[in-house]
Chains A and B, each alone.
Chain A
Amino acid sequence: GAGVSQSPSNKVTEKGKDVELRCDPISGHTALYWYRQRLGQGLEFLIYFQGNSAPDKSGLPSDRFSAERTGESVSTLTIQRTQQEDSAVYLCASSPNWGVDTIYFGEGSWLTVV
């Protein structure tokens, strides 16, 4: 597709379950970001992948959160033992090259933990 694709678009899960969120960046984009956005709030940086360099994990809120990226393609954000405070929209974004400032967002995965 032409844009950043995220799945699922909506996920309802029970507290304590693990969830996986998927991001397909724009083809050829080497940088990939995950953000969390709670309802009506700003963008909370989670993790940043750039090419083959070590990812910047400085925004991950706890060890329940992890993310992987295979090369310059798909990324998966995993949340283990979900808590109600994890309920939010998880946004993925990508950019063409290292150091290119403009980033392109997907439409997000809305996670509800009940």
Chain B
Amino acid sequence: GENVEQHPSTLSVQEGDSAVIKCTYSDSASNYFPWYKQELGKGPQLIIDIRSNVGEKKDQRIAVTLNKTAKHFSLHITETQPEDSAVYFCAASRKGTSYGKLTFGQGTILTVHP
């Protein structure tokens, strides 16, 4: 089955700095890679996703890159703000249908210091 490794487990940055979280996956058939943000006491919320036919996707301060050959993908957050502090999860699945099983990474606790 799919295995997703996520690093680092904790990341501390100063407000305004950039933050990068990296994930690797094992199943070459995986074709869908979402990133979720989980705030305290809340469920994971999708912040950005990328499909395997695209190498990079950007949405304002958030970007995701995908290297299919190396089987890794990364989340980049620029100009970090204290409200970016949360747990971030990467995930991978074979998304041909709505019931593609999501396999999550272990999560990264991001702390942005004012």
Do A and B assemble together? Answer: no
Interface residues of B (CB under 8 A from A): none
Interface residues of A (CB under 8 A from B): none
